[in-house]
Amino acid sequence: MGKTAFLFPGQGAQAVGMGNDFREVYSASENIFKEADNRLDYDLTKLIMNGPMETLTKTENTQPAIVTASVAVLEALREKGITADYTAGHSLGEYSALVASGSLSFSDAVYAVRNRGLYMEEAVPAGEGAMAAIMGMDREELQAIVEDVSETTDTVQLANLNSPGQIVISGAKAGVEKASEVAKEKGARRVIPLQVSGPFHSILMKPAADKMSAILDSITISDATVPVIANVSAEPSTSAEEIKNNLLQQIYSPVLFEDTIRKLMELGVDRFIEVGPGNVLSGLVKKVNRRAFVHAVSTPEQLDQLVEKLGEE
């Protein structure tokens, strides 16, 4: 029997109504929504359930909303006795992973990401930053392009190393546009400008990390009981001090997601369970390892299917 990892989604997975069916079926899931409203002092549940999507997609709302919906699903998994040997999240999802690993309480996590969203939103004036997905180019070649463009045009860097041939770049608008152009010239299969409100995971986010430091000082970060694979290093971590530093660096550093999946496989994980809205991460895992057992849980039906599959093993 191999090991199991829980994976938690980041920004972009949001949908109006996410987690609602878990609220109706599991009282532990419903309590998570209530706890979010209490800690944030506004009706996040109402926004998640009714939208509008435009308001839900604002970074300061999306971040607590996705963590809430993800942890609501996690509670249902716990109720079914499904546990993980490791956890990991994509960017924002690292906070959900830390809740699953016992390092953060849900209440502190939802409070932290609400502020993280606000600070990331404030870090760069609208329109000055950009992000783009570059498809079909290897990371060494793209790294050389962004280094060159950063020196000659404006700052741009690798932001999300998602899977082989899918890398997101981030930085100043001019830098991202120029790097996109050069990548196309040098044979990238596709370049897709992303509809985002800021240059996330670039050095331009450093002011957000500086402000976030005080928030992380104000909450309780404990040693994790289940190792978390950090976005910034793709290495397992359980130390509270290290976790805190990782969360600060994560704001302006690349998300090493492909490396995270490879590290989990090295550690003997062959079962990946995506916990929360959407199934983007499941797709990324499959690009790294076609043969892995991958199951996304964003509805109670999918949870029942998972219980059934695990029962057959």
pLDDT band at 312 (very low <50, low <70, confident <90, very high): confident
- Given a contact cutoff of 8 angstroms between Cβ atoms, the answer to whether 91 and 231 are in contact is yes
Is 91 known to be catalytic?
yes
Q: Domain 129-196 class?
A: alpha beta
User: Position 67: which residue type?
Assistant: V
Q: Is the pLDDT of residue 261 over 90?
A: yes
pLDDT band at 143 (very low <50, low <70, confident <90, very high): very high
Q: Strand pairing of 156-163 and 166-172? A: antiparallel
Q: What is the pLDDT of residue 140?
A: 97
- Of 150, 201, 253, 298, which one is the catalytic site residue? 201
Taking each helix axis from N to C terminus, what angle separates 206-218 and 240-250, rounded to the nearest 10 degrees? Answer: 150
Enumerate the H helices of the chain as residue ranges.
20-25, 27-40, 44-50, 53-56, 59-79, 93-100, 106-123, 139-152, 173-185, 206-218, 240-250, 257-266, 280-288, 300-312
- Given a contact cutoff of 8 angstroms between Cβ atoms, the answer to whether 269 and 262 are in contact is no
- Of 29, 70, 91, 96, which one is the catalytic site residue? 91
- Given a contact cutoff of 8 angstroms between Cβ atoms, the answer to whether 77 and 226 are in contact is no
Q: What is the pLDDT of residue 229?
A: 98
Q: What is the chain's length?
A: 313
Is 90 known to be catalytic?
no
Q: What is the pLDDT of residue 137?
A: 97
User: Position 129: which residue type?
Assistant: G
Q: What average pLDDT does this structure show over 71-75?
A: 98
DSSP secondary structure string, 254-276? -B-HHHHHHHHHHTTEEEEEEES
Q: Domain 3-123+204-312 class?
A: alpha beta
pTM of the model: 0.97
Please report, for the chain, the start and end positions of each structural domain, with discontinuous segments joined by +. 3-123+204-312, 129-196
Q: What is the pLDDT of residue 175?
A: 98
- Given a contact cutoff of 8 angstroms between Cβ atoms, the answer to whether 32 and 64 are in contact is no
pLDDT band at 197 (very low <50, low <70, confident <90, very high): confident
